[in-house]
Amino acid sequence: MTAGVLAVQGAFAEMEAYWRAKGFDVFEIRQLADLGRNMDLLALPGGESTVQGKLLKDLGLFEPLKERIAGGLPVFAVCAGMILLAEKIENDPSVWFGVLPVTVRRNAYGRQLGSFKTVGEFDGKDGVTMTFIRAPAITAVPPDAEILSVFDGAPTAVRWKNIVACAWHPELGE
């Protein structure tokens, strides 16, 4: 299995290590030519969603990636990656890919200094470390999406069709 990790900004090195530890071959997506490689999974790391979105467009990666995601390519998105996928962002007029029918709110769990860890359940597995760094909140989820984790009564990870998206950073936990 091969994972293509978006590597234009953010925590892509941690995301690469995460997928390598799971036995994936990993390559970085930095330019249009990188999309010529075969991938079984697209990983969208945490970082700054506005910067990532603008770079995706500037580098000509945006439309080809959107087409692949809409076509069913499995996607694993974390934090900023989830914002890029969201259909609506409550506190930002931007919509990037808009392929995940959730509503999110940027920086809902606090700013950088308010980052924290907690332990919870993810997809039926208990004791999972959840690291929230300027994390977005998921404020609306369609009925056909599966909620994979919850913190303080609100969904923090979802699965919808070919997409898994987390507000927190699983690549920073054990």
The residues assigned a catalytic role are: 79, 169, 171
Q: Does residue 77 contact residue 84 with C-beta atoms inside 8 Å?
A: yes
Decide if 48 contacts 136 (C-beta within 8 A): no
The DSSP code for 136 is P
Closest CA to 165 of 54, 70, 42, 7: 42
Question: Where does residue 126 rank: exposed (0-12), middle (13-18), buried (19+ CB within 10 A)?
Answer: exposed
If you ran DSSP here, which 8-state letter would residue 15 be given?
H
41 contacts 69 by C-beta, under 8 angstroms: no
CB contact set of 140 (below 8 Å; sequence gap of 6+): 88, 102, 103
Number of H helices, E strands in the chain: 4, 12
Contact 102, 141 (CB under 8 A): yes
